[in-house]
Amino acid sequence: MRRELVSVLRYSLVLLMILVFASQFSIFLTFAEVSEDKAASDLTNAEEAVASAFEVVLDAEQSGANVSGLLVRLNEAGGFLAQANMSYSAGNFEEVAQLAHLSQSIAEEVKGEAYELKNLAQSENLRLMSFTMMGSIVGVVLVVLGSVWGWRAFRRSYYRRVLKMKPEVVSDEP
């Protein structure tokens, strides 16, 4: 009876050890998986942030803003993003997270600055457009007024010249 009890206890102990070992392995696997998922998610966020920043920079450029400084910063973000992609392929997920965050933070700064530049350029464009339109309107009005005045003066002098004309008799004799 005592021997059986000892045997049962021994088996239980072995089973317990196996369970403890298995649970640790399972926890490790779970952590590894989460880390990969997080790296993938960080990478996607960084890619979206960089692409979105580029689109705002492009809008600012089309509005007439000078974006050369922003492109330099975007190149830094792009460099980190490329490194993050390569680290992801190599399975260095810790490094992916760091590089992706760096890239994303630069991209978000650039996006904010690009919005400011775009708004500045648009208001400058609006100001320039109003000045140009005002100038054109004033120019057209002056041309029309000048032309009416000129035409009247010309017509007056034309009639005066015609009225001053005297009929001449021209002999048609050979």
Contacting positions for another protein (CB under 8 A) = 50-51, 54-55, 57-58, 61-62, 67-68, 71, 74-75, 78-79, 81-82, 85-86, 89-90, 129, 132-133, 135-136, 139-140, 142-144, 147, 150-151, 154-155, 158
Comparing CB distances to another protein, the nearer of 28 and 159 is 159
Taking the C-alpha atoms of residue 102 and residue 46, their distance in angstroms, rounded to an integer, is: 9
Nearest residue to 106 (alpha-carbon basis) of 80, 130, 141, 86: 80
Comparing CB distances to another protein, the nearer of 54 and 93 is 54
What torsion do the CA atoms of 124, 130, 135, 137 make, to the nearest 10 degrees? 160
Residue 59: strand, helix, or coil: helix
Shortest Å, Cβ 36 to another protein: 17
Comparing CB distances to another protein, the nearer of 34 and 135 is 135
Nearest residue to 99 (alpha-carbon basis) of 113, 110, 85, 118: 85
Q: Give yes or no for a contact between 57 and 113, defined as CB atoms under 8 angstroms apart.
A: no
Comparing CB distances to another protein, the nearer of 7 and 44 is 44
Comparing CB distances to another protein, the nearer of 28 and 158 is 158
Taking the C-alpha atoms of residue 80 and residue 85, their distance in angstroms, rounded to an integer, is: 9
Shortest Å, Cβ 83 to another protein: 8
Shortest Å, Cβ 50 to another protein: 8
What letter represents residue 112's amino acid?
Answer: G
Shortest Å, Cβ 28 to another protein: 23
DSSP assignment, residue 64?
T
